[in-house]
Structure 1
Amino acid sequence: MARRSGRRPGNPDTREAILAAAREVFAERGFDGASIRAIAASAGVDPALVHHYFGTKDQLFVATINIPFDPQEILPQIAAGGMDGVGERLVRTFLRIWDSPAGTAGAALFRSAVNNEWTAKLFREFLVTQVLRRATGLLEIDPAEAPLRSSLVASQMAGLVMVRYILRIEPLASASPDVVVAAVGPTVQRYLSGDLSRLTEPAGAPDRPVEPAERLPGTPEQLKGR
């Protein structure tokens, strides 16, 4: 995107210009690699104006993808009770958001992420940096296990979104929150606190190559006649 020269005054167009620049910078550099200064330069505004409109970099990032909730408000509530019962609390909170009018925006974002790589990059960065990283930190999960545990939880919740809210497959689409929590909560709990020893590859264990004889018995001469 061409850099804009000069500085924009504080007008209604400035906010949208900052958001457009932020989306591009976050998509190109990721959340950790982006900076308020770089976003301001791309938008042609002073960094102080970015803070004026959006506050912190985290708040700006949430605004760029129009997510219907703020993880900084929701996640502490889920983690407040500690690890015990966190799977149930997470699923119940998730359903409360997605079953509300805000869920419409969430479903639109999910569809866009599935069909558009640019949106997928932003959505992926949001999940990793704003949701999964924060959640594992609040729950004090072993940093060595956090990536696997958080990605397993993400797979479960993404599947729930797809089946319940996008494809609307019955009876899950119409099931009450209590039923869904009872069904999905224990799985999420296991992903967060269960034993992962069977899910990790032994260190230094190379993949065993598949020999031709394992694919189809017989010598090359015998195989020619088959």
Structure 2
Amino acid sequence: MADERGRRPGNPQTRREILEAAMESFKAHGYGGTTIRGVARAAGVDPALVMHFFGSKDGLFSAAINTSLPVALLVGAFDGDEAHIGERLVTKYLEVWEDPAHGPDLSAVLHAAAATPAAAELLKELTSRELLGPVTRRLSGDHAEIRALLTASQLLGLAMIRYMLKVDPLASMSAGQVVAVVAPTVQRYLTGPLSLDEIAGTGRPG
């Protein structure tokens, strides 16, 4: 039941609605343009309730991206035989970006991280905890952490060029074409030879 000011009390549904309002604000206004007061107004609650649930704008952003980003779907691509991880991962990654329920959220988060150091730090913490950690534990080869980071760099660059900057011809290629050309590189990062030990021994690549 709403209070005398027309604002709803706190409950799990209210918390979800605050997170939805926050994500819409991050998409529309970026991290810097989003305020606790504005999110509260959009969700129809008192700003104090937003603070009660999330503590700060940083806490709100962290919770919003943790709820909105389909990390489990990407981690799930590592289940199965290692010989086809690259193909599964790139396919799932493109599906997520092209899903209208997830693509705009991903774009908003990357825009926020690129524009605001605080948002970048929060995204780094989330990525390390929820994505890179689980991926590293699923890889059986050496240098698992470096392999996961190299893969992340490839996929983030792909998203930036294809979905955010929309640079052709990559932006207009079919998903199947992108998988065909990108998956082998991702596969090599994840399971192929990296020669890191040889490079470390000489101090420079041969």
User: Which TM-score tier does this pair reach, normalised by the shorter chain?
Assistant: 0.5 to 0.7
- SS for the counterpart of 1:65 is helix
Match of 2:150 in 1: 152
Match of 2:21 in 1: none
CA RMSD of aligned residues (A): 2.8
Match of 1:87 in 2: 86
Structure 1 residue 15 displacement after superposition: 5.6
Query: Does the CA-based 8 Å contact 1:87-1:185 persist in structure 2?
Result: yes
Cα 1:148–1:81 change in 2 (3 A) is: same
> Can you list the C-alpha shifts for 1:149-188, whole angstroms capped at 9, x where unaligned?
1111111011101100111000111111100000100000
Match of 1:138 in 2: 138
Structure 1 residue 148 displacement after superposition: 1.3
- Unaligned runs of 5+ residues in structure 2 are 1-8, 15-44
Cα 1:20–1:170 change in 2 (3 A) is: farther
More divergent stretch after superposition (156-165 vs 120-129):
120-129
Pair 1:23 & 2:58 matched: yes
CA distance in structure 1 between the partners assigned to 2:150 and 2:83 by the alignment? 18
Query: Does the CA-based 8 Å contact 2:136-2:148 persist in structure 1?
Result: yes
Query: Does the CA-based 8 Å contact 1:68-1:103 persist in structure 2?
Result: no
CA distance in structure 2 between the partners assigned to 1:157 and 1:129 by the alignment? 18
Match of 1:166 in 2: 164
1:174 is aligned with what amino acid? S
Query: Does the CA-based 8 Å contact 2:84-2:187 persist in structure 1?
Result: yes
Query: Does the CA-based 8 Å contact 2:58-2:118 persist in structure 1?
Result: no
Match of 1:108 in 2: 108
Match of 2:182 in 1: 184
What is the number of residues matched between the two proteins?
A: 160
Query: Does the CA-based 8 Å contact 2:113-2:120 persist in structure 1?
Result: yes
Structure 1 residue 66 displacement after superposition: 5.2
- With normalisation by structure 2, the TM-score equals 0.67
Describe how 1:189-208 pairs up with structure 2 within 5 A.
Answer: 189-198=187-196, 201-202=199-200
CA distance in structure 2 between the partners assigned to 1:74 and 1:147 by the alignment? 16
- With normalisation by structure 1, the TM-score equals 0.62
- Unaligned runs of 5+ residues in structure 1 are 1-8, 28-60, 208-226
Structure 1 residue 20 displacement after superposition: 4.0
Structure 1 residue 124 displacement after superposition: 1.1
Higher helix share: 2
CA distance in structure 1 between the partners assigned to 2:93 and 2:107 by the alignment? 13
